[in-house]
Structures are given as C-alpha cells and as structure tokens.
C-alpha cells in the first residue's frame, strides 16, 4: 500500500506524540441580548448560548471519531461583556457572569471566554464596572474567563486601566486565596488582543464576526519535539536552518489536522468556519513541552544566553508552517511559554536559570507573554501594574500581541512552589527584582502615547 | 469480439519477469486492462485483467505464459469472470477508512478483526501487515470501504476494545486525515459530506436536478 508510511506517521503523531485538537471554540454573538434589566439580559444570554451550542458536544464527538483525533476541550467565546452589559451595575455584571457559567455547564463546555472589556483608548463607565466586578466574578464562577485589552499599537497603553488592573489582580488573588490565587489564571491582560482566539483565558467573539463561528486551536509540542529528535538521529550535524525547516513542515502537518476538523465541525453545525490557531501550548506531562524543544535546539539550561534567539526561530517556523497549511490561520499562532504549564520551564525557573527578566525578553519574540507566572503574594499593586506595563510595551512597540497572566500567590514568597493542579501545572513563585520601586511611575496614570511606526531603528 | 480473463502469477522475484509475462501475452494477442504488482520478501506477484481474442482457449493461455516464463518458475492461474459470482459493489455512500493496528504479535488477530468487519458488511479493499522488531510486534493497515449507515464512533470503540483484548492498539480513521496531513494540496472535505449536509445549497441542488431528458 503506497500510503502505508504516511498513515503510520500520522497515527504516530496522535498515539505517541500527543497530537490533539486542544480546543474547538464556538464564537457566539451576544449583541442581541442588550437590555437595561439584568434579569432580561441574563435570560437572553442563556437562550442564545443554548440554541447556538446545544449540538457542539455531539458534533465534536462524531468528528473526533471519524478521524481518530482527540478533541480535548470544547469552549465558547462570546461578545465582550462590557459591550452588552454597559448599562448594568456591578451586581448585574456578576449575575451575567453566573449566567455565562451556568450556560457553559449546560452545553458541556469547559471554559467560556469573553467577560472582557476593550479599554486601550479609554474606559467607559461600564468597562470600569466590569473591571471592578472581576474579583467577585472570578471567585464565584468556575468556567468564566476574563480579558482586558489595555493597549494597542494604534492607541498606546492605557496606564490608568493598567494601574486599576494591578489593584484588581491582587483582590482576585485574595478572593481565591484558598486556591492559591487561581482566579488570576482566568484573567488575561492584552496588548493588541486578536479578535478571534480559540485559546483561553484570552478568547472573545471579535468585532466584525458572524453570529456564530467555529475556531480551532491545535497544539503539538510533543510532535515537534519528536520530529527534531528524529532529525538529530538522521543528521547529527544538522544546521539551525535544517531545524527550522523541520519545525515548519511539522507545523504544517499539525495545522492541517485543525483545518480538517474545524471545517467539518463547522459544516456539520451549519455555521461558518473561522480560524485555526496552531500554538505550541504545552501541558505539564513529559513530552508535551516547549521547554523540551528548546533543550533539543541546543540550550542545556533554559534562560541561558541564546534562549531568546532559539524562541524567535521556533516561533517564526511554527507560524510559517501554519500559514502554508491553511488560509484561515489566526489567533495567536506561535509558541507559548506558560511557566507552570510547562514542566521544563517550571524546572528552569525553580533552578534559577530562567529569571523573570529573561522570560520577559523571550516573550518579545514568542506568541504570548508573561503567561501563568506565579509571583510573591505580597507584591504591591503598583509593581504588578508596572510588570504588566513592561509586557504590554513590548507588544505595542513591536506591533504584536502580548499578554500577561500574573498570579500573586497569597502567603508565598519568591522560590516557594505552588500547584494549581491538572493542566495548569505547578512551578516556583518567581522573584521580582527591585520590587516596590515603580509607584511614582504608575501613579502618573494617563496614557503612554501610540508609538511611531516609521524611522524604526 | 474479445474475452476478458483475470490472471495471477507468482514467482521468486528476478529481473525480467514482467518482460517475459508481457511478451507471452503479446504472442497470445492479449491486451492488458489493469495490472497490479507487489514484491514481498523476495517474492513477486501480479494480478491482472486482460482481454484475448474470443477463440483463444483458457488452457492455451495458461500453458503459453507458463512456457515463456519457464526460466522464472512462475505459477499461473486464470479465472473467467463470467463463470464467477461477483459481489455487487455499491458505490453510493461508501467512504474510505483506514484501520491501523499495532501491538504484540499473537496469532489470530487479523482473523478476529476481519470477522468483525464482515458483520458490518465492511469490505476490506487493501491490507498491509508485517511483523516488526524481530517478530515481537505486529503492524497492520487495512483500507476499508465503509457503507454510509455504519456508525464510525461505535465501530471505532468496538474495534479498540477488540484490539485491546488481544494486546493491540487499533485505530479507525477516515482517509481525509491522511491526505490533509501528508499532501500539500488544499484540504477538501469528502464530497459525500458536502452533498449530504447541505441539501439546500446550490451545489447540492444542482446534483439532485436531472441534467437531461
């Protein structure tokens, strides 16, 4: 049979190298649910979500069986809630969040993203109330994910919003102190947030999208790692460009899985197909780690000099392979460096070779930012805001998406270990250099103006 | 008028066998319609469909091929399709799947799996199987023609259970996943799916409408 080797190599990616569709995310427009009355809004939201997503689970099961590809998660991404609940008070917003939580449970999805506000050019009263409600929302719901776009290359950085978020993140951490501040893992603060992103916590249903749409997030650090191991066995003296080519062709194959599954799920549900996002999203188990890929590229310790260059090459090769595989590539599409979710990164952070500053440098060329980074529980709000401002500045001034998911862990100091369980993993609380020295900067508030886009030297 | 026969040949593989076979066919006035050749562990086998002048006696065909190919020790057999009961091959609703099984080598595995497939009226259209790792493990790939009514989810679960009972890891996957991951051409969903799922769409309407009188 001429296809035998192709068939066996595809099968190997699934069975042995952890290739999966990490998420099928349905985007749902909730703009039709706007009402001054919180009860009415909630009723409309529940109805809209149920009717859009009631067949999502069975359809995913059917398509997963047809191709023998696991679909690990099903998720929803809704219109940024600040837009539809602008007329509601904080209590009303919490009711809306609980409705989202219950609706997600009813249609059997694990997360629902979109408790979000876009405030890069300024905050509406409604957006401020939404940010104020985050400690209550993220401590009282299970499945709801929140995000705030606080900066963009065209508007600059809204430092008033960043300062407010610094305070709220500490409050979220306190409100979920019994879970090591886990509520903060469900809040993503963005610069240049992509409209359609199937991964959580940062997913929401973007402007200009149809009523309902299917997005796909595929992962596959394990597949890339095994491909590089085979390359090293076959050609021990391979050059870095050979490694980049291998990553690229592997990214192509992985993205194709997402394209096929996404188009078929969308077709069966009778809704448009949106984007496929190939991101190397690690999971804590061995063999599914971006850090292990960096080891294979030749870094004995993560965070050692060369780490930023290696991440840049990896991220770029992943994007190139993905773009050739599908004309619907979108979302984040690159390599994530979430510290607690990646065993090798967590290990390097615990050993001290990977510092917060080096991680920040690496995020300037990777696809997300300071992601799943536990920090000391006694960090002050201004230092927290300043950390976010640094990461957002990288995105704004380099015209790319960056984000933070910083988790102040109550009662823990730098170097302590914290565990969030399951896919969220565990890792060390990372030390912050020169803590408490940024308050005057943050208390200016206001806006960092949009950057110059010419004369870029 | 010509008459069609199905012929198979088997021999230890040597350079020149195909040349000898085709020479003998030319001498018999035969015309090859379809041919498939496989070489496995040093042995060569051919199955072909060929047309001959109607008056050509089947025993003459066999004897002549055998004679010309004598230096190669070829075994020849011939069937007349008119004398056989052929299975109908319903093309409508059939989808191509691949069943892959890997695991410890134990006797009887292909037998159990193929018996289960026969119950579902699933036709095995191609099989490749070999032992690997010095005979310790076993790899099998089967190409299946699965009728439209078969529930892939249930069948997959049953085959996985059947496999795991004998220490095999079995997977059933639609052919589209292999072309998507190995072929640089754009991803296409199976036409059948498009037709059956979008009965109101323009394409489907065109398909359903009669195109002539």
pLDDT, mean of residues B90-107? 79
B164/chain A closest Cα distance in angstroms = 14
pLDDT at position B137 is: 80
Lowest mean pLDDT, pick from A199-208, A247-256, A300-309, B101-110: B101-110
Strand partners, A426: A419
Whether A301 shows a pLDDT value over 90: the answer reads: yes
pLDDT digits (tens, 9 = 90+) for A49-103: 999 999 999 999 989 988 888 899 999 999 999 999 888 999 999 999 999 999 9
A207/chain B closest Cα distance in angstroms = 27
Cβ <8 Å between B177 and A15: no
pLDDT, mean of residues A350-354? 94
List, in order, residues 6 or more apart from A282 with CB less than 8 Å away. Answer: A219, A221, A288, A289, A290, A291, A336, A338, A341, A342, A343, A345
Token look-up 């984040």 returns A332
In angstroms, the CA A202 to CA B132 distance is: 46
pLDDT at position A269 is: 93
Cβ <8 Å between A15 and B169: yes
pLDDT, mean of residues A154-183? 96
pLDDT at position A335 is: 86
Q: Which two tokens stand for residue B186?
A: 């754009």
Whether A434 shows a pLDDT value over 60: the answer reads: yes
ipTM reported for the complex, 2 dp: 0.77
Whether A203 shows a pLDDT value over 60: the answer reads: yes
CB count in 10 Å sphere of residue A71 = 21
Token look-up 């091959």 returns B89
Which residues of A, range 295-324, sit inside 8 Å of B by Cβ?
Answer: 324
What does the longest C-alpha to C-alpha distance in chain B come to?
Answer: 64
Whether B44 shows a pLDDT value over 80: the answer reads: yes
Whether A254 shows a pLDDT value over 60: the answer reads: yes
C-alpha triplet B188, B194, B196: angle, nearest 5°: 150
pLDDT at position B163 is: 80
Whether A13 shows a pLDDT value over 90: the answer reads: no
Whether B207 shows a pLDDT value over 80: the answer reads: no
pLDDT digits (tens, 9 = 90+) for A115-162: 999 999 999 999 999 999 999 999 999 999 999 999 999 999 999 999
pLDDT at position A385 is: 97
Q: Which two tokens stand for residue A260?
A: 């096929």
A284 and A290 Cβ atoms separated by less than 8 Å:
no
Which residue has better confidence, A307 or B160? A307
CB count in 10 Å sphere of residue A433 = 9
pLDDT at position B203 is: 39
Q: Which two tokens stand for residue A391?
A: 């990461």
In angstroms, the CA A197 to CA A176 distance is: 26
pLDDT, mean of residues A265-284? 90
pLDDT at position B196 is: 55
A87 and A36 Cβ atoms separated by less than 8 Å:
yes
Strand partners, A196: A205
Q: Which of B172, B177, B184 lies nearest to residue A260, judging by beta carbons?
A: B177
B29 and B52 Cβ atoms separated by less than 8 Å:
yes
Sorting pLDDT into bands at 50, 70 and 90, what band is B212?
very low
| Residue A302 DSSP code | T
pLDDT at position B92 is: 65
Touching check for B36 and chain A: CB below 8 Å?
A: no
B44: three-class secondary structure by DSSP: strand
Whether A21 shows a pLDDT value over 70: the answer reads: yes
Across A280-294, A407-421, B37-51, the highest mean pLDDT is recorded for A407-421
Within its chain, how far is the Cα of A434 from the centroid?
Answer: 28
List, in order, residues 6 or more apart from A330 with CB less than 8 Å away. Answer: A194, A196, A197, A215, A274, A275, A276, A277
B62/chain A closest Cα distance in angstroms = 28
Q: Which of B127, B128, B156 lies nearest to residue A68, judging by beta carbons?
A: B156
In angstroms, the CA A385 to CA A404 distance is: 10
A280 and A334 Cβ atoms separated by less than 8 Å:
yes
pLDDT at position A10 is: 84
Q: What does residue A237 show for φ and ψ, rounded to 5 degrees?
A: -100, 30
Length in residues, chain A: 457
List, in order, residues 6 or more apart from A434 with CB less than 8 Å away. Answer: none
B202/chain A closest Cα distance in angstroms = 15
CB count in 10 Å sphere of residue A1 = 15
In angstroms, the CA A412 to CA A429 distance is: 7
Strand partners, B10: B45, B75
Sorting pLDDT into bands at 50, 70 and 90, what band is B193?
low
Whole-number average pLDDT of chain A? 92
Whether B15 shows a pLDDT value over 50: the answer reads: yes
Burial of B86 (C-beta count, 10 Å sphere; 0-12/13-18/19+): exposed
pLDDT at position B205 is: 33
Helices A90-106 and A125-140 pack at an angle, to 10 degrees, of 50
Cβ <8 Å between A65 and B152: yes
pLDDT digits (tens, 9 = 90+) for B99-156: 988 887 777 777 878 888 888 888 888 888 887 777 778 888 889 988 877 777 788 8
A421 and A124 Cβ atoms separated by less than 8 Å:
no
Q: Is the peptide bond before A298 cis (omega within 30 degrees of 0)?
A: no
Q: Which two tokens stand for residue A108?
A: 């059997």
Which residues in chain A are closer than 8 Å to B174, comparing Cβ atoms?
66-68
Length in residues, chain B: 213
Cβ <8 Å between B172 and A256: no
pLDDT at position B209 is: 37
**Ordered DSSP codes for B142-208:** EEEEE-TTS-HHHHHHHHHHHHHHTTEEEEEEETHHHHHHH--SPP---HHHHHHH-TTSHHHHHHH
Nearest residue on chain A to B157, judged by CA atoms?
Answer: A65
pLDDT at position A93 is: 96
pLDDT digits (tens, 9 = 90+) for A57-72: 999 998 998 888 889 9
């Amino acid at each position: 049979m001429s296809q035998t080797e192709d068939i066996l190599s595809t099968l190997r990616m699934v069975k042995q190298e952890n290739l999966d569709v990490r998420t099928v995310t349905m985007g749902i427009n909730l703009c039709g649910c706007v009402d001054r009355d919180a009860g009415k809004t909630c009723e409309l939201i529940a109805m809209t979500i149920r009717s859009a997503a009631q067949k999502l689970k069975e359809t995913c099961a059917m398509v997963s069986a047809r191709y023998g590809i696991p679909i690990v998660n099903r998720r929803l991404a809704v219109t940024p809630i600040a837009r539809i609940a602008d007329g509601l008070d904080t209590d009303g917003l919490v009711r809306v969040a609980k409705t989202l939580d219950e609706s997600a449970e009813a249609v059997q999805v694990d997360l629902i993203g979109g408790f979000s506000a876009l405030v890069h050019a300024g905050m509406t009263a409604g957006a401020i109330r939404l940010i104020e409600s985050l400690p209550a929302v993220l401590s009282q719901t299970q499945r709801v994910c929140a995000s705030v776009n606080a900066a963009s290359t065209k508007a600059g950085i809204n430092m008033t919003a960043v300062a407010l978020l610094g305070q709220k993140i500490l409050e979220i951490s306190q409100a979920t102190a019994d879970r090591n501040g886990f509520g903060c893992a469900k809040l993503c603060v963005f610069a240049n947030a992509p409209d359609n992103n199937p991964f959580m916590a940062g997913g929401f249903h973007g402007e200009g999208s149809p009523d309902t749409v299917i997005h796909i997030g595929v992962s596959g650090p394990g597949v890339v790692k095994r491909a590089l191991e085979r390359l090293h066995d076959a050609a021990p003296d391979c050059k870095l460009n050979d490694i980049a080519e291998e990553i690229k062709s592997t990214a192509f194959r992985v993205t194709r899985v997402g394209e096929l599954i996404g188009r078929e799920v969308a077709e069966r549900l009778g809704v448009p197909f949106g984007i496929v996002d190939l991101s190397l999203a690690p999971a804590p188990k061995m063999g599914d780690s971006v850090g292990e890929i960096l080891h294979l590229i030749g870094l004995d310790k993560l965070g050692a000099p060369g780490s930023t260059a290696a991440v840049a090459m990896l991220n770029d090769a992943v994007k190139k392979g993905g773009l050739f595989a599908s004309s619907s590539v979108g979302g984040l599409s690159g390599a994530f460096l979430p510290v607690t979710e990646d065993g090798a990164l967590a290990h390097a952070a615990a050993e001290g070779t990977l510092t917060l500053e080096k991680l920040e440098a690496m995020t300037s060329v990777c696809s997300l930012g300071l992601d799943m980074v536990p920090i000391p529980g006694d960090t002050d709000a201004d230092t927290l805001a300043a950390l976010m401002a640094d990461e957002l500045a990288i995105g704004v001034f380099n015209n790319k998406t960056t984000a933070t998911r910083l988790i102040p862990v109550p009662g823990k100091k730098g170097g302590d270990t914290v565990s969030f369980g399951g896919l969220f993993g565990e890792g060390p609380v990372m030390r912050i250099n020169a803590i408490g020295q940024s308050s005057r900067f943050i208390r200016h508030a206001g806006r960092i103006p949009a950057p110059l886009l010419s004369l870029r030297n | 008028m010509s008459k069609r026969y199905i012929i198979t040949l088997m021999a230890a593989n040597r350079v020149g066998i195909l040349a000898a076979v085709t020479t003998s066919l030319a001498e018999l006035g035969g015309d090859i319609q379809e041919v498939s050749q496989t070489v496995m562990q040093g042995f060569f086998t051919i199955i072909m469909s060929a047309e001959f002048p109607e008056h050509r006696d089947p025993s003459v065909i066999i004897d002549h091929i055998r004679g010309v190919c004598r230096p190669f020790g070829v075994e020849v057999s011939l069937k007349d399709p008119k004398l056989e009961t052929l299975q109908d091959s319903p093309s409508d609703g059939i989808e191509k799947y691949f069943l892959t099984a890997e695991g410890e080598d134990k006797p009887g595995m292909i037998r159990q799996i193929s018996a289960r497939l026969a119950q579902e009226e699933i036709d095995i259209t191609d099989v490749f199987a070999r032992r690997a790792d010095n005979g310790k493990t076993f790899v099998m790939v089967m190409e299946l023609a699965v009728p439209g009514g078969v529930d892939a989810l249930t069948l997959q679960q049953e085959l996985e259970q059947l496999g795991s009972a004998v220490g095999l890891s079995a997977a059933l996957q639609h052919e589209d996943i292999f072309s998507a991951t190995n072929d640089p051409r754009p991803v296409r969903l199976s036409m059948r799916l498009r037709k059956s799922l979008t009965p109101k769409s323009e394409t489907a309407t065109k398909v359903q409408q009669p195109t002539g009188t």
